[in-house]
Structures are given as C-alpha cells and as structure tokens.
Chain A
Amino acid sequence: MLRTTLAGLRAHKLRLLLTSLAIALGVGFIAGTFVLTDTIEVGFRQKFTADAAKIDVAVRPADDPAISAEVLAKIRKVPGVVEAQGMLSGPAPLLGRDGKAAGNYPTTGISVMTGQLNRLTLTGGVAPAKPDEAILDDNTAKTRQFAVGDTITVLDQKNVKHEFTLVGLFDTGVDQQLASSGAVGFTTETARLMTGAKGFDRVDVVGTEDPARLRDAVASALGAGFQVKTGDQLADELAAQSKVEIGYLTLLLLLFGLVAMFVSALVIYNTFNILVAQRTREMALLRCIGATRTQIFGSILLESAVVGVLSSGIGLLLGLGLGAGAMAVMEALDGPVPAGAAIALTPRTIVFSVLIGLLVTIGAALLPARAATRVAPVAALRSQVEEQSFKTGVVRIVFAGLFLLAGAGLTTAGITSIEGDLALIVLMGGGGVFFLGVLIISPVIMRPLAAFVGWLPRRLFGVPGKLAVDNARRNPRRAATTTVALTIGVALMTLISVITATTRATVKTQLDEQFPVDYMISDQRGSEAGVPRAVADALRQSPEIGSVMQMRVTNAPVAASDPGTDPGTGEATVGNIPSVPDFRPKAASGSFDRLEPGTVALVDYLAREWNRKVGDTIQVKTTEAGTVTLTIVATFDGRTSDQAPVSVPEKEFDRYFGPLDDTRVFVNAKDGVAPEVARRAVEAVAQPYPTALVMSSTELRGEFDDALDMMLMIFGGLLGLAILISILGIANTLSLSVHERTHESALLRALGLTRPQLRRMLSLEALLLGLIGALVGICLGTVYGWAAMQTFPFEIQFRAPVGQILSFLALSGLAGVLAALLPARRASRASIVGALASV
C-alpha cells in the first residue's frame, strides 16, 4: 500500500508541487513572522545586554519625577562607587537652515555621558566635551543638511537661540522615540540648561564592588523614592518591555498567517477531494484486489502527510527568506530595529511551522480520505465514471441557515446593543460565523451565481463561452470551495478599503467642522507652549488675511458645587470662546449669542457628568479673579468641536487668567486670495518666531490620507498572500479538472474546436470562478465594513470606494485567467489521438 501511494505521488510531481506550494506559502508566512520577530527580539536583548554591561547599577526615580543634583552627589559618595552620571532629556528645538524649528515636533535634547558610561554609537566625529559643542543624530543631520564642523542653532526652553559647533553624529539605535523626533546631544550640564529639565531621568553607576552589593549600598543610602537596579536587571526589564511590544507585532502578523493557512486548508481540501473523485476507479480496483477501507484511508492520509512534510520544509525555507528580507527592508528604511542582528531560527519556529503545516494538510485531507473509503469495489467495473452529482441536502440548508442566522444575529447585536471594543469583537465573531454559513451554503448558490456572472460571457464568446459556463456550474461543490478560498482574501481587502474610505470621509467631515479654517499656527512643542499674541495681531494687519481667531486654554480647578464653595482640585481645561462668530461650534442647547461676563459654555459630556443644564452654574478657580461662579448659557457637542470643554468669553478669559499666549491661532485667507499667496503671508508673519508652526488644513488632511494609504498598503500586502494562495487553488482545481476532462477536450477538438477556442474556454471558466469568488467577497466585505464602522460612537460618513472595489473584481478575474494559463496550455497542446486513447 505504501509503495502504491509513493509511486502515485512520484507520478504526479507537478501536482504535488502545486499542492504543496499552497501550504508552503502559508507556513512560510508564519515561519517568517517568527523569524522576523525573534530576530528583532534577540537583537534588542543583545543591545540591552551590551549596554547594561557598561553599568553596574542604575537609579531611577520611583515617585519623584526626576533625580536632583543633590541625590546624584549622594550617590557619588556611596563607598564603592567609582563613577555616577545623570541622564536627562527634553525638548530642544533645532533650527533648520531656514531659521524655523525643524519638523513638526521639537528635536529631543539629550545628555551625552562620558567615559565608560557613554552608550551612544557615534557614526562620525567625537562626543561633545565643551558647553558649546553638540552632536546630532545622523538622520536629522542628513535631512537638515548639517555636517560635522557646521554651526547649529538650538532653542532653549525659553526660546532663546544658542549656537553650537556640530562635533559629531550618532545613531539613535533602537530608541523609537528619539528616531522619530530627531535628537541633539550636549554635555550633561548644557543639556540641563537647554531643556530646562528639573533633574535626571536616570543615574548610571559603575563601581568596584559586586553589582548586587553596590545596588544594596546605593539603595540604602538613598532611602525610599528610587528604583535601584543592577545593570543586568535593567537589561532584563527593557528586554521584557520590548518583548511585549514585539508580541503585538507577532500577534498581528500571525492573524494574517492564520487567514492564509485557512485558505491553504481549503485549497488542500479541494485538491484531495478532486483526487479522490478522479481515482474512484483506481481505488475501487484496489478494493477489488483486497485492500481494506483502512488501507485506502491510510494511503490518502499518507499522501497528505508527504505533502505536509514537503510543504512545511519549503515553507520553513521560505519563512527564513521572508524574515531575513523583511529585516533587511526595515533596516534599509532605518526602522527602529537592532542593526546587523543575526537571523534567528529558533527550535520553536521549526517545530511550530512544521507542526501547523502538517496538521493543516492532514486535517484538510481527512474528509476526502473518508469519502475515499466509501468507494465500493464494484465501481471498478462501471465503464463510464459518473458525473459527480450534487443534490442540495436538507441538512446542509439547515446548518447553513443556522450559521447564517447566528452570524447575522451576532452582527446585529454588535452594531446595535453592545458598546465599545466588545462590539467590534462580537461583530468579528459574527462575521466569522456568517462566513462559515456562506461556506456551507456556497455549493447551493454556485449554480445561480455562475449563471448570473456567466450571462455575458455566454453571449459574448460563443461555444467556448457556453461550455465554460456549463463547466463552472457542473461541479458546484468543487467550484464553491475554489471560489470561497478567494472570497476570504477579497472580503478582507474590501473590508479594509471600505473602512479606510469611510474613515477618510468621516475624518474629513470632522476636520471640516472642527477646523473650518485655512491655516493653524501652534507652537511646535505642543499645547503647553504658546504663540505670542503679536502673531495674531500682525496677521490681522496683513491684507491677504480674512479672519483670525486666537484660542487660549489653561487648566483650572472647575466643579459643579454650590455657589461660594471651593471647587477643589479637579482640573478641567478652560478656554476662550472666540469673538468671531464663524469659529464658534454649534450649540447643542442654549445659545452662544447670550455669552456675556459671568457666563460659560460647557461641553455636553461634562454637563451630563455634573448633571448641569443651561441656566445652572459652575465654579471656576481663576488665577487673577479668585473663584468665580458662572452661569451656563450653552452646551456643545465635544466630539465635533475643538472648543475647550469649559469655555468663557474672550475678554473674561483674560480677566480670569491674565494675558496668556495663544495656544492656537486659526487663520482664514481673504476670499479670492490664492492659497500660495496666503500661505506666504502667514509664514512671513510667523517667520520671526522659530517654533511657531504653520499648518494648512490641506496638509493636515494630506498627512492623514498618507497614513491611511500606508495602512491600506500594508494590510493589502499582508492579505495578498492569502489571495495568492487562493489563486494557486484556482490553478490547481483547473489543472485537475483539465486532467479529468482530457477525453472531453479531445472530443471537442475532434469536433472542430480550435486550440485557441479550447484555451479560451478554460480561461473563461477560471475568469468566472475568480469573478464569483470576488463578488461574494465584495458583498461580505462591504457589509461588514459598514457594520464595523457602525460600532464607533460617532457619526459615520459611509463610503464604499467603488473604483477600488471594482479593481478587486477585475484583478480577481484577471488572476483567475492567469491561473488558467498553464492548465489551458497543457490542455490545448495535448494530442487528440493520445487523449482519446487514454481513459
């Protein structure tokens, strides 16, 4: 029996390879995920361990925000301490060559430790040794065009410019935050002055003693309020943290890997089903000459095991390549990954990949193997292999109905009655169950669908078209499994593109409501720093500018207690209501027209929380006017407005809190002024203020669009694999069908069908399969995309990106046609006489 099976496998090498490839791709993706994340993790650990080797003890603040210079002095006096240095960081905006602060976020200023404790990797020059020396991370240096020897200008925390000589460049390594903000390094003292840091984030210590003993000595000298750890402990802790972060990446990638594996399982299941159907006679013959059911069952499983082992092996190699490739790409893109890390292939990766490949393959072959045991020996004697007939069973309908109903029910529940993250999870579960229902019912709907999709080809392509539609319909179960595999990928693609399009439209509407202006000026360092009022004043003078609105916010204790009592310490953000009416939000209740001294507009959620409505009062503890009692004249929707939750009239704000800087300045160009002209005018006004960041609404939207496009691309790429596998499935099914219909093809050729016509027939069949799979996927994806967006607690602008979705349909059809290329070629090349003789 074993020998028969192996001989059969050897005889069909191509088929074996094609089948294996489906599983191999899935396994490769999973193995690749492990290889990539293991490599990153090991790289991180090596980096942390190498860093930690330089430190004996690290001290970090536990309760206090920072470690003061006195504490550092105390540490230095602990017996056994040879050296102790503090480390600090804070915003230190680097000015670009145009005199404006570089980037949308301030550069991070860091202290560079000296001697043994220095952990920065210099890529050029030397570390700063004098107060007027600085180093830059190499990325920032490159984009801002600074080289060693140049003079750079950095703002201190009071916006005073300081000039430094650039003496070196360094690599930010694995620090994601530094990598994204850019970093400038100073001597410790200069860094403290520049950033205005109150103390150190961490103090690193080297000593003569054993690290554990030194740690205890330092800890007892400092008392409570500090975390004191040995270098090794620190490395472990950092590695554990990064492991958690990588864990999320692993999980996300594995999710896609599992989708791919599921699709592979469908492909394998279908392949074995067809093989068993085709070998009915062979197996009946084996039964006739004495093979038992168990032996037949065993031989099919053995075949699947061979396929499983082979594909897992290929998959593992593929995964190694994928992992290494992804790592190389991330390094090339300067991603925050440990550079030059050795590719990690752990035993876990090997065991897990081989196991999942084997299990999925054998699992998918179980049902077909069982079907094979049902072949009666007498089937060997029948002359004509019977067409596989398909009758819609009651059991199938009932099961499908149950699944579809349960799925729809869960989905509806997710949309209507559950809130928050749980809703999305319920919805996803509902989607999964509903999909299983579709999977079960798919053979039933395959015939009508094929008739529907095939309507045009039938009319357009003559006899090949008609025959293709008939062929697509003749074996609904096979067609269903083949197309459903594609449905999965297309459904998820559609889902994601619907979600991105909807998000894009929704955010655009929100931006239009919240940000109904052309430009916004804010400080690069965020809401804590302000834009001098002179900016707004100058803008008002500018002839290109239509209207200017200054928004100021501050935090103050606010409460809804009785008049005259102290509001306590619960802080809320208090801001001004613009005097210009076009910048005001819509009132949910009350009216902004009644704003006058002693009144306030309150955001709806605070009003609900405090149980206050228009006409009631709240207390605000101001800095300049003591505690004031304010009457609520309006409430507004916090989700569609950028207005501070507690908003008072502009003049009153100044009276309560003094002449604070503007947090944000909103600017509208005068009607008819060209955007470039207006932009230049705004920028000219902002020029003297290096950290005043001018953003246009189009830029803001563009950034958001870019982020969405990026997401769409990444998910598309990840799903591409599942789609590729399903296309392989189409190719596989088709080539098996072609093999099965060798005689039919020969007959058609004898009757006068030309080679191109025969090829066209098969391509059309594949086209139909592709289109049907895509069509079902598009319907599911669109509906679930809509449903997913319904779980979000704000108003949705639903968009189905028709162009994109149609392109999925077209690409699926095209992919089907491509999948048919080889089988069709083989079929049309076959000699008529040879094909007629074989059976």
Chain B
Amino acid sequence: MTITTDVRHAVVAKGLAKIYGQGDAAVHALRGVDVSFATGAFTAIMGPSGSGKSTLMHCLAGLDTVTEGSVAIGDVEITRLSDKQLTLLRRERVGFVFQAFNLLPTLTAEQNIRLPLEIAGRQADQVLFDRVIDTVGLRDRLSHKPSELSGGQQQRVAVARALISKPNVIFADEPTGNLDSRSGAEVLAFLRRSVRELGQTIVMVTHDPGAASYADRVVFLRDGLLVTELTDPTPQSVLDTLLKLEA
C-alpha cells in the first residue's frame, strides 16, 4: 500500500503498528493508527501514560522503524527508506523539539539554532532568521551557551532551531514538560504564532490539557489506538475527554 499526502496534509499515517520485543514479552505500543496532520495546523497528541504517544511521534518522524503500516511526510513514503535517506529527509523536512537536552552544550544559542542548516550545508535565510529570533525574543542571548540559559529559554532556542530550516513538520515531545507554567505558556504561545504567522505545521505530544488547548486540534490515543479527537479545544473540553478516556 502506498500513500501520498495532498497539499492539505503534511504527514499521513495509515495502519501504523509498532510491536516492541517478541513472544511473551511483546508490547503492542501501536495497534493500527490512521492519522493525518493538516499543513499549517497545530495538532496535539494526548493520552494516558503508556498509550503510545511518543512511539507514534517517533514513527511519524522517521526516528524509529514501524512494524506495520506506512507514513508519508510531504510526498515521501518514509517507511521504506534506508537510514541514510531517512537522515537526509530529517535534515530537509523535519524539525524536533524534545522535552530536555535539546541543545549541544558546546555551542552557543546561535550556533545551536544554525546547526541543522550547517549539517545540511544550507545557508540560513537571514530574513527568516531575524524574524524567528525576534519572535522568540532571544536576540540578546544569542552568544550564550545553553548552560547560561534558563529552561524556558533553552526550549525557545530549540523551537527557533526547528523553525529555521523551514521543515514540512515540527515534532515536539512534551516541549513544556520541564517548564514552569509561565515559561511553558511562552513557549506554547510562540509555537502557535509560528503556525499562524509562518504557516508552520506542528505536531506536539503533551500531557497537559492547558498545553493542548493551544493547538487547533487534539487527537487522543489509548492502548495504541486512536480513539477520538477534538477541534478548537479548550482546557476544559480536553480535560473532559481525558477523564472519559480513563474511565
């Protein structure tokens, strides 16, 4: 089965299954997930702990292999790519923001931001760079090393880095998980602005109904299956859905 995305979808997954281990120890982390993420939209993935959120994200981003099913990013079917092709694809089309340890400690903030472009051997779009830096509000921190930045600033640097290479999609796994609510809100607001103003596609895994409410749409996972979704969520509606799921 081959699938492609149309212009309206940045990422499409069909029949995605992931099994860890074998025999008795086998864990069915994903049991056949069909999901697509609209271009220029901010989508949140939610679900109880162990429901397969991180696994889904890793499979979508080409960081991990899938057991069954297929994933397309842009017009490329990624499940059949070699490691080398996947790496090149990540360079060009995917951005990442992780929960922690996003930055290389030896590089300054600016060097960290430019790193993906340098790896790809591309020139930074200076206009975009300035715009991103100003949006993130990091101009006076550019020459600082990560250890000299606060957790929120570090995450913002990570977001800026993800934005700078204009990827088809940015995957963020609990980007605010380690932050207090105020820095968390700053980062989330920034993510939403980059969707609105820069037309960026973002897929974010989160535990926090408040964080999820920044998204345009929330998809809910349980036991490796996509169970429901919300559009234009509010913290309250997300919370209600979650409670229903866990019941």
Give residues of chain B (179-204) contacting chain A, Cβ–Cβ below 8 Å: none
Pairwise interchain contact B115-A383, C-beta atoms closer than 8 A: no
Give residues of chain B (77-126) contacting chain A, Cβ–Cβ below 8 Å: 83-84, 87-88, 90-92, 96, 98, 100-102, 104-107, 115-116, 118-121
B134 at the interface (CB under 8 A from A): no
Q: Mark A444-462, 1 if CB is under 8 A from B, else 0.
A: 0000000000000000001
Looking at A123-131, A254-262, A748-756, the stretch in contact with chain B turns out to be: A748-756
A387 at the interface (CB under 8 A from B): yes
By a CB distance below 8 angstroms, the chain A residues around B121 are 462
Q: Which of B64, B115, B151 has the most CB of A within 10 A?
A: B115
Pairwise interchain contact B96-A474, C-beta atoms closer than 8 A: no
By a CB distance below 8 angstroms, the chain B residues around A463 are 115, 118-119
Looking at A136-144, A332-340, A831-839, the stretch in contact with chain B turns out to be: A831-839
A518 at the interface (CB under 8 A from B): no
B63 at the interface (CB under 8 A from A): yes
Pairwise interchain contact A744-B104, C-beta atoms closer than 8 A: yes
B49 at the interface (CB under 8 A from A): no
User: A463–B116 Cα gap in the complex (Å)?
Assistant: 10
A661 at the interface (CB under 8 A from B): no
User: A831–B105 Cα gap in the complex (Å)?
Assistant: 21
Given contacts A470-B106, A752-B116, contact A384 B63 (CB under 8 A): no
- Across the interface, name the chain B residue whose C-beta is closest to A756: B84
- Across the interface, name the chain B residue whose C-beta is closest to A469: B106
CB distance from A253 to the nearest CB of B (A): 44
Kindly identify which residue among B61, B90, B106, B161 contacts A474, using a CB–CB cutoff of 8 Å.
B106
**Looking at chain A, what size class is its interface with the partner chain?**
20 to 34
Give residues of chain A (362-420) contacting chain B, Cβ–Cβ below 8 Å: 383-384, 386-387
Pairwise interchain contact A751-B178, C-beta atoms closer than 8 A: no
CB distance from B91 to the nearest CB of A (A): 3
Q: Mark A806-839, 1 if CB is under 8 A from B, else 0.
A: 0000000000000000000000000111001001
CB distance from A571 to the nearest CB of B (A): 77
By a CB distance below 8 angstroms, the chain A residues around B58 are 833
User: A757–B88 Cα gap in the complex (Å)?
Assistant: 12
Pairwise interchain contact B119-A753, C-beta atoms closer than 8 A: yes
Give residues of chain A (599-623) contacting chain B, Cβ–Cβ below 8 Å: none
By a CB distance below 8 angstroms, the chain A residues around B228 are none
**Looking at chain B, what size class is its interface with the partner chain?**
20 to 34
Count contacts between A and B, CB distance < 8 Å. Answer: 73
B147 at the interface (CB under 8 A from A): yes
By a CB distance below 8 angstroms, the chain B residues around A181 are none
Pairwise interchain contact B63-A755, C-beta atoms closer than 8 A: no
Pairwise interchain contact B87-A747, C-beta atoms closer than 8 A: no
By a CB distance below 8 angstroms, the chain A residues around B63 are 750, 832-833, 836
Pairwise interchain contact B105-A836, C-beta atoms closer than 8 A: no
Pairwise interchain contact A754-B106, C-beta atoms closer than 8 A: no
Main secondary structure of the interface of A (DSSP, over half): helix
User: A833–B100 Cα gap in the complex (Å)?
Assistant: 14
Pairwise interchain contact A747-B147, C-beta atoms closer than 8 A: no
User: A749–B96 Cα gap in the complex (Å)?
Assistant: 11
Pairwise interchain contact B91-A752, C-beta atoms closer than 8 A: yes
A471 at the interface (CB under 8 A from B): yes
Pairwise interchain contact B104-A748, C-beta atoms closer than 8 A: yes
Pairwise interchain contact B91-A839, C-beta atoms closer than 8 A: no
A467 at the interface (CB under 8 A from B): yes
By a CB distance below 8 angstroms, the chain B residues around A833 are 58, 63-64
Pairwise interchain contact B98-A751, C-beta atoms closer than 8 A: no
CB distance from B19 to the nearest CB of A (A): 14
User: A387–B88 Cα gap in the complex (Å)?
Assistant: 30
Pairwise interchain contact B98-A747, C-beta atoms closer than 8 A: yes
A743 at the interface (CB under 8 A from B): yes
By a CB distance below 8 angstroms, the chain A residues around B106 are 467, 470-471, 473-474
- Across the interface, name the chain A residue whose C-beta is closest to B59: A833
User: A482–B71 Cα gap in the complex (Å)?
Assistant: 46
27 residue pairs A–B, Cβ–Cβ below 8 Å: A383-B178, A384-B147, A462-B121, A463-B115, A467-B104, A470-B107, A473-B106, A747-B102, A749-B87, A750-B61, A750-B63, A750-B90, A751-B90, A751-B91, A751-B116, A751-B119, A752-B87, A752-B91, A752-B92, A752-B120, A753-B119, A755-B84, A832-B64, A833-B58, A833-B64, A836-B63, A836-B98
Interface residues of A (CB under 8 A from B): 383-384, 386-387, 462-463, 466-467, 470-471, 473-474, 743-744, 747-755, 757, 831-833, 836, 839
Nearest 5 pairs of A and B residues by beta carbon: A752-B91, A470-B106, A833-B64, A754-B87, A752-B90
Known: A755-B87, A833-B58, A836-B98. 5 other contacts (CB 8 A): A463-B118, A748-B104, A750-B96, A752-B88, A755-B84
